[in-house]
């Protein structure tokens, strides 16, 4: 439990102390609610207790009751009113616990979402996006709902159990020993039976869920290839295998979840039978009262013990979430690494000097001793064999990777982690597979902008410059037409033109094209190349850097740099 508390962010720990206080108060209120039933129990089991019981007789005389009937009505009404008030206060206190749990979920989910993004392109490429998505959206909720909430229940119910046990022990030690005799063996037997199983089942289900989530995303993303290659049967087989694993583990966990009720009910029945046996020969009124007190306490202890056992099972079952949450830097609130809108002014040249780059898991350099300049207004082509490092070079120029050695400078200012956001604000990027969201055309051109902040005049100019006007006019809702997931409703050429329009909308001074036309037919490729040439002719200060395999795609470039 201490280990779990350590991974709660520091900013939530102080608030957690307040929540712990509310749990304590609710526990005391629940205890008082049980205690409030004792006068009614005495009145039911022994009508003479109005005058024989020291506390009842004092209340009777203090308020000058004139009849036993009015006293019984008053006591009963008072107990009901107290229970109602207690329940309302409990509800209000529970809201603070609830709000804390969901505020923590929001923090963890947002923090993990930003943390994964801030780890950079290398981390994203080496990870499975479906797994990262599940961690952000599902695992964070599992942690607060399946680990922390059960922990709070355990703390609350253990405190209530302790209060009830101490009270019973003070009233009648025999009854307290009986409570221990019936409930502790039931708990130990339950824990012994499931020890090691629940945690094991939770890990198995987590892995099966991750695989199923990944396979589902990949199936829909790769529909065409899967259909053409008749691979869906194989994908379905893996889907069924993971589903069967989840169903099997879920069924076992469901069975385990019913055990607390079975164990505690058997223990309660055995305890009452034993109490009746022990009370044989005692005064009938004393026996009734002792049995009644034990019954009230035991019936309240029954759900407490059951809740403790069930919560402990849930905690163990979902404990896999702890390791995933611990993996993130949760104590430092994740922030967008540099959200400035400032730009690096580019007036002269980009200089690449003695540039080396090696991936962390590689034994050799991907790029070695690269040197060249890109002057403002130039159209530069980059080619080379597959695997020569062209895209890696682009990612370095885009500020997505940091050089292992050497430097990239813009007008003499070295590109570093501290100023890369300003540089990225100055450039545009069009890849072979342009990133498109499942939203409207205008939202994809003005990517990341709120709808109310979009400059419609700049949108119109970008659409015109990217030769998208005819296409936009053909759409049923114009620029507000949804384009489908990953631009599924668009052709390859239309996707590339949207990428160009996006770069133009942001007013990029340098355009980077990474194999932007390699997947297009010759006619569409030529039309895109013509659009790029038109952009350069319309703005002589615009710098264009292009990666392409085919020489024809670099024919309009001023220079071509070949990577060996």
CB 453 within 8 A of CB 505: no
Classify residue 335 by its DSSP letter. -
The residue extents of the domains of the chain are 2-326, 349-563
* Domain 2-326 homologous superfamily, CATH: ABC transporter type 1, transmembrane domain (1.20.1560.10)
Pick from 92-96, 369-373, 385-389, 512-516 the range whose average pLDDT is largest: 369-373
Nearest to 354 by CA among 396, 387, 325, 395: 396
Calpha distance 160→90 (Å, rounded): 14
Q: What is the mean pLDDT of residues 236-254?
A: 82
Counted residue by residue, the chain has a size of 564
Query: Per the structure block, which two tokens stand in for 19?
Result: 């929540």
Classify residue 137 by its DSSP letter. I
Calpha distance 230→429 (Å, rounded): 35
Nearest to 313 by CA among 161, 102, 147: 147
**Cβ atoms within 10 Å of 111's Cβ, excluding its own:** 22
pLDDT for residue 274 is more than 70: no
The pLDDT assigned to 355 comes to: 92
DSSP-assigned beta bridge partners for residue 380:
545, 559
CB 356 within 8 A of CB 404: yes
Q: What is the mean pLDDT of residues 77-101?
A: 86
Calpha distance 27→89 (Å, rounded): 12
Calpha distance 250→256 (Å, rounded): 10
Calpha distance 400→60 (Å, rounded): 81
Q: What is the mean pLDDT of residues 379-400?
A: 87
Matching CATH topology for 2-326 and 349-563?
Answer: no
Query: Per the structure block, which two tokens stand in for 289?
Result: 């009262």
pLDDT for residue 410 is more than 90: yes
Calpha distance 162→180 (Å, rounded): 11
Q: What is the mean pLDDT of residues 543-550?
A: 84
Q: Which residue has the higher pLDDT, 407 or 308?
A: 407
Pairing of strands 349-357, 367-375: antiparallel
Angle at CA 459, nearest 5°, toward 456 and 461?
Answer: 115
CB 471 within 8 A of CB 524: no
pLDDT in tens, 124-139: 888 878 788 888 888 8
Q: Which residue has the higher pLDDT, 37 or 480?
A: 480
Calpha distance 135→140 (Å, rounded): 6
- Tokens 């069975």, located at residue: 255
Angle at CA 398, nearest 5°, toward 329 and 401?
Answer: 45
pLDDT for residue 407 is more than 90: yes
Instruction: Read off the pLDDT band of 298 (50, 70, 90).
Output: low
CA distances to 113, 350, 444 from 428, rounded to whole Å, are 25, 15, 14
Pick from 409-413, 425-429, 514-518 the range whose average pLDDT is largest: 409-413
pLDDT in tens, 316-373: 878 888 888 877 766 666 666 656 788 888 899 999 999 999 988 788 888 899 999 9
Helix (H) or strand (E) holding 75: helix 68-118
Indicate the range of 358-372, 406-420, 543-557 predicted with least confidence.
543-557
Express as a percent the part of the chain with pLDDT over 90: 6
Give backbone dihedrals phi and psi of 53, rounded to 5 degrees, phi first: -80, 130
pLDDT in tens, 155-190: 888 888 888 778 777 777 776 777 777 777 777 777
Calpha distance 179→175 (Å, rounded): 6
Query: Per the structure block, which two tokens stand in for 219?
Result: 């199936």
Residues of 449-469 as b/e, b for ≥16 C-beta within 10 angstroms? eeeeeeeeeebeebbebbbbe
Q: Right CATH number for 349-563 from 3.20.20.410, 2.40.110.10, 3.40.50.300, 1.10.287.990?
A: 3.40.50.300
Give backbone dihedrals phi and psi of 429, rounded to 5 degrees, phi first: -140, 125
């Amino acid at each position: 439990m201490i280990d779990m508390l350590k991974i709660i962010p520091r900013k939530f720990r102080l608030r957690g102390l307040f929540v712990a206080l509310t749990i304590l108060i609710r526990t005391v209120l629940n205890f008082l609610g049980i205690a409030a039933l004792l006068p009614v129990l005495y009145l039911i089991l022994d009508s003479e207790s109005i005058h024989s019981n020291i506390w009842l007789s004092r209340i009777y005389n203090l308020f000058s009751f004139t009849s036993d009937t009015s006293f019984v009505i008053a006591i009963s009404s008072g107990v009901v009113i107290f229970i109602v008030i207690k329940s309302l206060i409990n509800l209000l206190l529970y809201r603070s616990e609830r709000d804390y749990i969901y505020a923590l979920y929001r923090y963890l989910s947002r923090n993990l979402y930003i943390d994964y993004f801030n780890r950079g392109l290398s981390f994203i490429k080496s990870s499975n996006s479906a797994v990262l998505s599940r961690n952000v959206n599902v695992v964070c909720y599992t942690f607060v709902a399946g680990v922390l909430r059960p922990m709070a229940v355990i703390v609350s119910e253990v405190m209530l159990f302790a209060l009830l046990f101490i009270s019973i022990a003070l009233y009648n030690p025999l009854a307290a020993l009986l409570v221990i005799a019936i409930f502790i063996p039931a708990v130990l037997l339950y824990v012994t039976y499931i020890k090691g199983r629940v945690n094991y089942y939770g890990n198995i289900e987590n892995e099966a869920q991750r695989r199923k989530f990944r396979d589902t995303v990949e199936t829909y993303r790769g529909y065409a290839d899967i259909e053409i290659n008749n691979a869906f049967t194989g994908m379905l087989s893996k889907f069924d295998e993971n589903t069967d694993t989840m169903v099997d583990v879920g069924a076992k966990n469901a069975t385990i979840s019913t055990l607390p009720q079975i164990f505690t009910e058997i223990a309660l029945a055995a305890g009452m039978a034993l109490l009746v046996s022990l009370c044989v020969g005692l005064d009938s009124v004393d026996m009734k009262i002792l049995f009644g007190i034990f019954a009230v306490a035991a019936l309240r202890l029954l759900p407490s013990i059951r809740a403790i056992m069930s919560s402990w099972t849930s905690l163990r079952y979902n404990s896999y979430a702890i390791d995933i949450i611990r993996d993130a830097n949760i104590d430092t609130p994740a922030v967008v690494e540099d959200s400035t809108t400032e730009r690096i002014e580019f007036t002269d040249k980009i200089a690449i000097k003695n540039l080396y780059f090696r991936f962390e898991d590689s034994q050799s350099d991907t790029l070695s001793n690269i040197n060249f300049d890109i002057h403002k207004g130039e159209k530069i082509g980059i080619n080379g064999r597959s695997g020569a490092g062209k895209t890696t070079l682009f990612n370095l120029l885009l500020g997505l990777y940091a050089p292992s050695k050497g430097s990239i400078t813009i007008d003499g200012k070295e590109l570093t982690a501290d100023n890369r956001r300003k540089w990225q604000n100055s450039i545009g990027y069009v890849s072979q597979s342009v990133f498109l969201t499942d939203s409207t055309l205008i939202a994809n051109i003005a990517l990341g902008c709120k709808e109310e902040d979009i400059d419609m005049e700049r949108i119109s100019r970008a659409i015109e410059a990217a030769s998208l006007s005819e296409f936009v006019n053909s759409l049923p809702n114009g620029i507000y037409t949804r384009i489908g997931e990953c631009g599924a409703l668009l052709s390859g050429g239309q996707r590339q033109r949207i990428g160009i329009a996006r770069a133009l909308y942001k007013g990029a001074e340098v355009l980077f094209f990474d194999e932007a036309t390699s997947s297009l037919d010759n006619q569409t490729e030529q039309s895109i190349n013509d659009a790029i040439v038109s952009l350069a002719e319309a703005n002589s200060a615009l710098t264009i850097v292009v990666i392409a395999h085919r020489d024809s795609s670099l024919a309009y470039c001023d220079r071509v740099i070949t990577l060996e």
